[in-house]
């Protein structure tokens, strides 16, 4: 499970710095990326987009992953001799 501060999360935060939601897309969170990009674009109309832009950067940097995905992979790899 990636922890905050790992290279993947830092790279995702840098991506989100340039384009809001790109870091989430790099992490494989398509819906989070889509909504953060759309909300940032809407809020920039009212000059409040920097709030969502900053939120996107923090979200990408502090993402810990979905623990259910890791539990499923751990169970599968433990019993599957081909992995």
Residue 4 in tokens: 């905050």
- Range of 75's domain? 7-79
Place of tokens 């950067």: 57
Q: Is residue 2 part of a domain?
A: no
Question: Rounded to the nearest 5 degrees, what angle is found at the Cα of 30, between the Cα atoms of 26 and 35?
Answer: 115
* Gap between the Cα atoms of 5 and 67, Å rounded: 18
How do residues 14-31 score in pLDDT, each as one tens digit? 999 999 999 999 988 999
Number of separate domains in the chain: 1
Residue 62 in any domain: the answer is yes
**Predicted TM-score (pTM) of this structure:** 0.71
Question: Which comes out higher in pLDDT, residue 47 or 78?
Answer: 47
């Amino acid at each position: 499970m990636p922890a905050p501060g790992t290279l993947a999360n830092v790279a995702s935060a840098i991506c989100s710095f340039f384009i809001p939601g790109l870091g989430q897309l790099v992490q494989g969170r398509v819906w989070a990326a889509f909504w953060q990009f759309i909300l940032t674009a809407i809020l920039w109309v009212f000059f409040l987009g920097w709030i969502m832009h900053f939120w996107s950067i923090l979200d990408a940097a502090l993402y810990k992953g979905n623990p259910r995905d890791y539990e499923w992979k751990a169970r599968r790899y433990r019993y599957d001799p081909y992995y």
